[in-house]
Amino acid sequence: MVKRKLPKLSTLSAVIIITLFSVSVVFFLQVVMAGRILVASSRTTSRLLYQIHASRITDSIRRNMDFISDVLYLSHQLFAEFDTHSSDVEALTEKTLIEMINLSPNVYSAWCIIEKGAYFEDRYYIKDFVKHEGVLIEVDSSHLESDLEDPENAPWYFESLLSGEIHFDDIDLYDYGIGEDPIYSSTISIPIKSNGEVIGVCGIDIIYQDMFDLTDIYEENKGWTVLLLTQDMTILHGPDPELIYKNLSDYPFKNIDLKRCALERNIAYTDEIKSPFSGTRSLVSLKPIRIDTEIEHSPLYLYIDAPVSRLYADATYNTGLLTVEFFVGLSLVAFIIIINMRNIVQPIKKLTQTAQQISDGNFNVEFNSVSPREEFNNKNEIAVLQNALKKMVNSLNENLFTVERRVEERTNELRMMTKEAEAAKERAEDADKAKSRFLANMSHEIRTPMNAIIGMSELMLSENLNDHQLRCIQDIHVSAKSLLNIINDILDLSKIQSGKLSLAPLHYDFYELIDNISSTVQFLAKNKNISFKLNTQGEMPRCIYGDDVRLRQTLLNILGNAVKFTNEGNVGLTISVSNTTIVFDISDTGIGIKEEDMSTLFDAFTQINMRKNRTQEGTGLGLSITKSLIDMMDGNITVESVYGQGSIFHVTIPKVLGDEALIQQATDNDSLIHVPDAKILVVDDNAINLNVACGLLRLCKITAETAASGKEAIEMIQKNKYDLVFMDQMMPEMDGVETTKIIREMGVKIPIVALTANAIAGTKEEFLAAGMNDLLTKPIRKNLLNKILTEWLPSEKLIFRYGKNAPSVENSAEIDAEFWKKVEKIEGLSVQTGLDRVSGQQEVYGKSLKLTIKEIEKCDKNLNEFLAAGDMRNFTIEVHSIKGSLANIGAMELSRRAYELEIAANREDKNFCTSNLVPFLEQLRILRANLSDIFEAKKQFQSHIEIPAELFPILKNLKYAFKETDFLAIDKGIKSFNSINPGSALKEEIDKIKDAVLIMDYESAINVIENLLKQK
């Protein structure tokens, strides 16, 4: 038996079938979507009706409750001057209770109870009236007396008696002792006062089911079941009297526990289930009725059961109509396609066969795709195509005879074009030179107005702008800086091409350069949620001779591109040092570079893979400039890449060692302003950083307050009004950005300036977006501090300026020369560097040295604990903190080793941290021991401490404040020291107390105070 293969569908037939299928799918989806929209609309309408009915019922109850509140208020006034010794007590009580019942038809019972001893000596005075079937009945009080023996049985009495406030009791079954079955009611009680004292309680009982009528709701919505429930799901009101006082949980409800949980949490519940009342599928809703009255209680729930068949009747009908229209439309489309297939598909098949013969070289073919009478019909596209094909065949025959002649003519033309191309090359070279001159001139001309735009926008950012204006100015500022970077790239390229760009070599700190580059890339990588790894191989030189600005520019350009084109994974920088060269390997796990793009990678104005990278900004000049600069350094750059996996750039420069003594140090000679009335808060978790900042502010006659954490800063800002806040960026638990956001959410508009060691592109924008106003880099420079204070402090507090930096004269006569000689002999400690950090203030520097002792003790303990627990985040924060502290006192080598640990911790290199932490801590302990010995020796030479009499009460109050952790009293006591003029020995002890407060070591502060008090 021969198997027959199914004929393969032609392309046109496949297109027709796919079209028919697509139309069917589209029609079907439209029907489904329309049906869903109609069902959703019906559901929304039913829920809206539910809200309307709930509002009507709530309004009905609220009106009645408001009136009952008025009745209670009137009763409270009648009992306000209750005199238990009056002979009219019983008449007044009976009249008041009857008035309470008669004033509102919803009041079922009114009662009054006077405490024992207030009217009767040994028993309660009780009056209780019930309105039963329109008749007032005085109820026997014996059942009330038994309840009053136990407070738990009578919360409606004791709650109001003890609190002196109105008490609202929940709805419950209650037997009034009049021969009727118990009924559901709720009690509202108020205290009775005589001469300002509570002597008893009166109250009323109300029945909710009499407060409203649901007849109108039933008439508007046939088939609906609307019920009023208590908190325990008991039915108070409904369409059928037989439902009254039954419980909803007695009926076969689906998910009854979910409904009960909704009631307990006082939230709404909605679901489509089978109704136990109608037996059909219904939309069931259960919602608390919130009554906003003076009683502020919500004991009722509204239950609505709406049959789905009625809710979705219109939706079902319209969906069926759409389904019929779908099948009718689909049949019509199929009929039209079948009719047209004979007129289109068959002629096209014939024409396709003819074209195949022509492609095989047979130019003597017959064209019979259309009938002869249709051959010249211009409106028949197939006939037009057939005639065009005929003309093409004729043209091919004619072209065969002219090809050779054309080839010879073309050869002659190419010879002429070659000569013209050589001339055009010369003209292009001249034009390129003119272009370079034009670009250079244009860049210089544009930079002037661009700098003006940037400067003016920075000024505008400091103005009091609304949110819309602030966003506009920020956009202008960022866009202008971006445009200026592009102009600078063009200018650099022009200088390179014209031979005017030269290097400016000098002796520079190689560690500081790498630290700056690492901080910059970490910031860029953090914003894209990718990791950055820094590795070193070989012995890193401390000082290099070369152009550090241009080296930083080239490395940041390559690293910036790596971050820009890497969406996940990591970016790495490996520095390999040999005897003659330094090699920088920049790797990434980004999109990579295609092999065909390698040849143009370093061309100017070229950005590879433009289609894929169209969202990335750039001029395409960066790598061109980078290669030119590296060539000028006698180095070279190469690249390896696998498209889709990543790239590695290799940058090699000669190793030329520099002289550390010739490293240029930044100096600050700017004048300082004096602002003695300024109130400033400095926030930093590092005590030495706080000391340095406060010392520099004291040059401006400012006594700053300090906070050691973001939480403490928030508490102080809530209690005090500050003119300015300096906020450290990196703090444990809550960093500066998180703290600032919380402060802004509190509505506090105080200026906040970020303190950070990462002065990189984009940092300021991130801080401004978080709500900060400005940025100040560490180490703090006086000229920048001067600028910040001038810009953000109130102008009326800026009293005067000094033309030159005023030298520090604080206690200069008391400085111990022998002490400083010993400090200068400590190995690895540069006293001059430490003094430069605090503008030459010996007292501030000495205080930093003393604080370093405690800082090292804390660091020694914390670093070991964090490393043992594998907590690399807090390890990084701690080692970052000690790095800054060591740099502030001039221990630069130890600061460098701390930096190496910080880098390793960032890349979670636990092996490096484990092996290098022990020798690092050993050196820290040696430094701590040397400092401790020097300060102990100085202390032995101090004279006897003379304590003024007015200091003793201050010390006693402070001691108590430390024990109670009373921050306000501590702050007040520390400020009281300013009124004391102590001698040098006493001043040192006071400084110990202040230092302990600075780091919140209250136990040490108490010990110092106790020693001083013993001097009395």
DSSP structure class, residue 4: P
pLDDT of amino acid 219: 57
pLDDT of amino acid 508: 86
Name the region of 942 (left: φ>0; alpha: ψ -120 to 50; beta: rest): beta
User: Residue 212: which pLDDT band, with cuts at 50, 70 and 90?
Assistant: low
Average pLDDT of the residues in 252-274? 72
Question: Which of 234-248, 898-912, 930-944, 994-1008 is least confident?
Answer: 930-944
pLDDT of amino acid 667: 43
Q: Which two tokens stand for residue 525?
A: 């990588």
| Residue labelled with tokens 């272009």 | 435
CA pair distance 983, 991, nearest whole angstrom: 12
Residues 839 and 782 sit within 8 Å (Cβ to Cβ): yes
Q: What number of other Cβ atoms are within 10 A of residue 250's Cβ?
A: 12
User: Residue 812: which pLDDT band, with cuts at 50, 70 and 90?
Assistant: very low
Pick the closest to residue 61 from 210, 203, 224 (CA basis). 210
pLDDT of amino acid 724: 93
587, β-bridge pairs: 572, 648
Average pLDDT of the residues in 45-63? 71
Please determine, for residue 427, whether its predicted confidence score (pLDDT) is greater than 70. Answer: yes
Pick the closest to residue 672 from 888, 811, 838 (CA basis). 838
Q: State the virtual CA torsion across 265, 271, 273, 278 in degrees, nearest 10.
A: 80
- The sign of the torsion formed by the CA atoms of 777, 778, 784, 786 equals positive
Q: Which two tokens stand for residue 800?
A: 């005067």
Contacts of 162 (CB under 8 A, 6+ apart): none
| Residue labelled with tokens 């309408």 | 45
Q: Which two tokens stand for residue 691?
A: 């000391």
- Whole-number average pLDDT of the chain: 75
Average pLDDT of the residues in 562-584? 91
Please determine, for residue 943, whether its predicted confidence score (pLDDT) is greater than 50. Answer: no
Please determine, for residue 560, whether its predicted confidence score (pLDDT) is greater than 60. Answer: yes
Pick the closest to residue 654 from 543, 544, 764, 556 (CA basis). 544
Please determine, for residue 1009, whether its predicted confidence score (pLDDT) is greater than 50. Answer: yes
Pick the closest to residue 627 from 594, 593, 651, 609 (CA basis). 651
573, β-bridge pairs: 534, 586
Average pLDDT of the residues in 795-824? 56
Please determine, for residue 509, whether its predicted confidence score (pLDDT) is greater than 80. Answer: yes
Average pLDDT of the residues in 951-971? 78
Average pLDDT of the residues in 893-921? 88
- The sign of the torsion formed by the CA atoms of 1005, 1006, 1008, 1013 equals positive
Rounded alpha-carbon distances, angstroms, from residue 690 to 7, 681, 881, 995, 998: 87, 10, 12, 10, 8
Average pLDDT of the residues in 639-652? 89
pLDDT of amino acid 683: 92
Residue type, 579: N
Contacts of 366 (CB under 8 A, 6+ apart): 354
Please determine, for residue 129, whether its predicted confidence score (pLDDT) is greater than 60. Answer: yes
CA pair distance 271, 253, nearest whole angstrom: 11
For 784-806, the pLDDT digits (tens) are 788 888 888 887 777 654 444 44
User: Residue 470: which pLDDT band, with cuts at 50, 70 and 90?
Assistant: low
pLDDT of amino acid 497: 58
Greatest mean pLDDT range, 477-491, 737-751, 969-983: 737-751
Cα 215-218-221 angle, rounded to 5 deg:
150
SS3 assignment, position 774: strand
Rounded alpha-carbon distances, angstroms, from residue 194 to 85, 119, 188: 11, 12, 20
CA pair distance 284, 512, nearest whole angstrom: 71
Query: E strands, 538-629, where?
Result: 543-546, 570-577, 581-588
pLDDT of amino acid 703: 83
- The side-by-side arrangement of strands in the sheet containing 281-289 is 235-237, 225-229, 300-307, 281-289, 269-274
Residues 556 and 626 sit within 8 Å (Cβ to Cβ): no
Average pLDDT of the residues in 455-474? 60
Residues 226 and 217 sit within 8 Å (Cβ to Cβ): yes
Residue type, 930: N
Residue type, 815: I
CA pair distance 354, 350, nearest whole angstrom: 6
Residues 916 and 904 sit within 8 Å (Cβ to Cβ): yes
Per-residue b or e along 890-913, where b marks 16 or more CB atoms closer than 10 Å to that residue's CB? bbbebbbbbbbbbbbbbbebeebb
912, β-bridge pairs: none
Per-residue b or e along 510-532, where b marks 16 or more CB atoms closer than 10 Å to that residue's CB? bbebbbbbbbbbbbbbeeeebbb
DSSP structure class, residue 838: T
User: Residue 304: which pLDDT band, with cuts at 50, 70 and 90?
Assistant: confident
Average pLDDT of the residues in 672-689? 82
pLDDT above 90 covers what percent of the chain? 6
Pick the closest to residue 926 from 829, 834, 832, 1003 (CA basis). 829
Residues 621 and 604 sit within 8 Å (Cβ to Cβ): yes
SS3 assignment, position 496: helix
Report pTM. 0.33
Contacts 24+ apart (CB under 8 A), 614-623: 616/564, 616/565, 617/482, 619/486, 619/489, 619/490, 621/489, 621/490, 621/492, 621/493, 622/489, 622/557, 622/560, 622/561, 623/557, 623/558, 623/561
User: Residue 305: which pLDDT band, with cuts at 50, 70 and 90?
Assistant: confident
pLDDT of amino acid 814: 42
CA pair distance 492, 444, nearest whole angstrom: 11
User: Cα 546 to chain center, whole Å?
Assistant: 42
| Residue labelled with tokens 């009137």 | 74
274, β-bridge pairs: 281
Question: Which of 155-164, 428-437, 510-519 is least confident?
Answer: 428-437
CA pair distance 263, 234, nearest whole angstrom: 12
| Residue labelled with tokens 């003309």 | 391
Please determine, for residue 988, whether its predicted confidence score (pLDDT) is greater than 80. Answer: no
Q: What are the φ/ψ torsions at residue 597 (nearest 5 degrees)?
A: -90, -10
Taking every pair of C-alpha atoms in the chain, what is the biggest distance, in angstroms? 142
Residue type, 438: F
pLDDT of amino acid 739: 92
For 479-499, the pLDDT digits (tens) are 565 566 556 655 555 556 555
pLDDT of amino acid 13: 64
Contacts of 994 (CB under 8 A, 6+ apart): 974, 977
Average pLDDT of the residues in 360-367? 68
Q: Which two tokens stand for residue 494?
A: 């022009």
CA pair distance 119, 128, nearest whole angstrom: 16
Average pLDDT of the residues in 931-955? 71
Element (H, E) at 801: strand 800-801
Question: Which of 469-478, 568-577, 670-679, 687-696 is least confident?
Answer: 469-478
Please determine, for residue 431, whether its predicted confidence score (pLDDT) is greater than 60. Answer: yes
Pick the closest to residue 505 from 653, 352, 348 (CA basis). 653
Please determine, for residue 610, whether its predicted confidence score (pLDDT) is greater than 50. Answer: no
Q: What are the φ/ψ torsions at residue 266 (nearest 5 degrees)?
A: 60, 40
For the chain, the distance separating the N- and C-terminal CA atoms, rounded to the nearest angstrom, is 125
SS3 assignment, position 908: coil
Q: Which two tokens stand for residue 1006?
A: 């108490």
Element (H, E) at 640: strand 636-642
Q: Which is more confident, 985 or 34?
A: 34
CA pair distance 656, 419, nearest whole angstrom: 50
User: Cα 27 to chain center, whole Å?
Assistant: 45
User: Residue 475: which pLDDT band, with cuts at 50, 70 and 90?
Assistant: low
Please determine, for residue 670, whether its predicted confidence score (pLDDT) is greater than 50. Answer: no
Average pLDDT of the residues in 78-84? 67
